[in-house]
Chains A and B, each alone.
Chain A
Amino acid sequence: MQLRALLTLLLVPVLLAFAETRSSAEVTVGLDRSTVEITAFYNGTTVKASGMVPAGTEAVVVVSGKPETLHLKRKGKVANLLWMNVGDLSFHDAPRVYTIYTSEGARDAAENPELECSFPALERRVKIEPPGKDEHFFFGEFLKLKKHDKVFASVPGAVSLEAGEDGNRSFETTLQIPPRMGQDDYTVTAFAVDGNRVVDRAEAKLQVRQAGFPASLSKLAFGQALLYGVLSVLVAVAAGFIMGAIFGGKGGAH
């Protein structure tokens, strides 16, 4: 009993000291708004992210979407001549969105396999089916596809750092929200990076949601699909008739 009490007495200051260093070296991240609304004339937007990282570390900010399973077609050469779809590929646990913003001192962070926030680390988390020796190649093609849609990206040097209080550094960056980044919940994670090591991290939530006209239309399309289909047809037919009447009237009898 006495021994245990002694140990506790000895340990408490150690733990307290640890907690203190933690709190003084905490990573924080905040967004200038937590919700982005998609309205009729929406064409993507930007969100400002800012926060603190401990002294001596660099900041990496990652916007990531929910992991999903993606079914894709594999293209290959048939008869050594023609390029076409030759099979199916499934990507499991692939985030919908993955954009990496780094500070100047961590320009290579997006490609550094040691860092969990990088694309190579993401490659280890994504499972490709059917598995095979070409997995690395197909993940590369997957990255190309996603980067083409602007939902995957790396922006080295986009995070600005400044010396803040207690020797900590404050960071700030502008996150690009492309129109392809649809209605969903996203996570913005700030990583404090020291060389090949993530020291600490913090998260903020970002919600993108449809509002107004796009929201009502989506609701109708998914909730009352038959009505939506019939209405679409009726509007098209009406447009055809109206144009017919306008042109028919102007052109006179043929």
Chain B
Amino acid sequence: MWQMYLPIAGNSVNILVILGLGGFVGLLSGIFGVGGGFLMTPLLIMFGIPATVAAASDSNQIVGASTSGTLAHWRLGNVDVKMGVLLLVGGILGGTVGVQIIKVLRALGNADFLISITYVLMLGGVGSYMFMESLQAMRKAKKPAAAQTAPRKESRYGAALKKIPFQTRFDKSGVEMSMLIPLLLGVLVGILAAIMGVGGGFIMVPVMVYLLRMPMHVVVGTSLFQILFTCVNVTIMQSVSNHTVDFVLAVLLLLGSTVGAQVGTKIGKKLHGDQLKILLASLVLLVCVKMLADLLMQPAILIAMKGGH
């Protein structure tokens, strides 16, 4: 009982387990604006879903969760469409470049080694920085009770940004900068995401917080908006070229995750930007530790199906 057969994955799963899994990951995306593929894909593999099907069906699920999350954040005024579109266009360009880079890397050999190391270093670096930074900000905020967000002093970085052409104002984010900056950062994140085989939410969120200096709540909403379109693209591409999207699996997952995303948004609303950042940083560090452990411990079986990380 409670088992359902997944025709593309070629295995059956417990409906309740998959609903719960979807709910949990949806919750995380509602709170932090990440897709959650980094968590979902390995968990699905653990439940006997082939790696390629797990990744593709998960992106189909993220379409549902991020629609739900974007909508919830939209109501709260947390989606900067202009910024999101620029990042998205950059991300698509970067993704295309990244796919070519990975082909060259694979041809040279040792690509997996490079990818794993980049991944761990990146997660470790970003996670630690975010953690320290938000910890400091929280301490500062405690002393002068009134000052919630200390005015940022004009750094050299900020001054340089002002000189780039195509200056424009991003109302929702409350920042003014050249349109080229989010476009270029989008390209960068797209390249990294393609090389590492991840959705990119984990890199995009810190980029928006620290390099684009957007307020944390707008970052979450805008990130979800952007992830939605990326995953629509991935789902259709995977269906057409690899036939790896399992619709039954995706529907079960998104029944959980769309609810999770709504609840997550409500939780996120109650948290301060710095609290959100520190929680996300802990999550990033946790994933980093898990990846490192995978790399250091001998696997039980020394051969594996293709398609995993």
Contact = CB atoms under 8 A, between A and B. Distances in A.
B301 A144 contact: yes
A82 B303 contact: no
A246 to B, nearest CB: 8
Given A42-B12, A73-B304, A254-B76, A239 B68 contact: yes
Contacts of B165: none
Nearest to A245: B71
Contact of B303 (A78, A145, A233, A235): A145
Contacts of A72: 303-306
B223 to A, nearest CB: 15
A40 interface: yes
Nearest to B75: A254
B226 interface: no
Nearest to A250: B262
Interface extent on A, as a size class?
35 or more
B5 A73 contact: no
Contacts of A163: none
Contact of B72 (A180, A215, A232, A247): A247
Contact of A237 (B67, B259, B304): B67
A225 interface: yes
B49 to A, nearest CB: 11
Contact of B304 (A145, A214, A246): A145
A72 to B, nearest CB: 5
Contacts of B128: none
Interface string A214-234: 110110011001101111110
Contact of B254 (A42, A74, A236): A236
B296 interface: yes
B156 to A, nearest CB: 38
Given A230-B236, A243-B262, A248-B71, A44 B245 contact: no
B136 to A, nearest CB: 30
Contacts of B76: 254
A156 B4 CA distance: 30
Interface in A44-89: 44, 71-76, 78, 81-86, 89
A204 to B, nearest CB: 23
Interface residues of B, number: 62
Given A229-B245, A240-B65, A244-B71, A39 B5 contact: yes
Interface in A136-191: 138, 141-142, 144-145, 148-149, 179-180, 182
B247 A228 contact: yes
B147 interface: no
B243 A225 contact: yes
Which 3 interchain pairs have the tightest Cβ spacing? A240-B67, A229-B239, A244-B71
20 contacts: A41-B3, A73-B304, A75-B301, A75-B303, A81-B296, A82-B116, A180-B10, A221-B7, A228-B239, A228-B247, A229-B239, A233-B60, A236-B61, A236-B250, A240-B71, A243-B261, A244-B68, A244-B72, A254-B76, A254-B269
Interface of A: 38-44, 71-76, 78, 81-86, 89, 138, 141-142, 144-145, 148-149, 179-180, 182, 210, 213-215, 217-218, 221-222, 225-226, 228-233, 235-237, 239-244, 246-248, 251, 253-254
Interface of B: 3-5, 7-8, 10-12, 48, 60-61, 63-72, 75-76, 110, 112-113, 116, 232, 235-240, 243, 245, 247-248, 250-251, 254-255, 258-259, 261-262, 266, 269, 294-306, 308
Given A83-B295, A180-B10, A233-B63, 5 more contacts: A75-B299, A180-B48, A237-B63, A239-B68, A246-B262
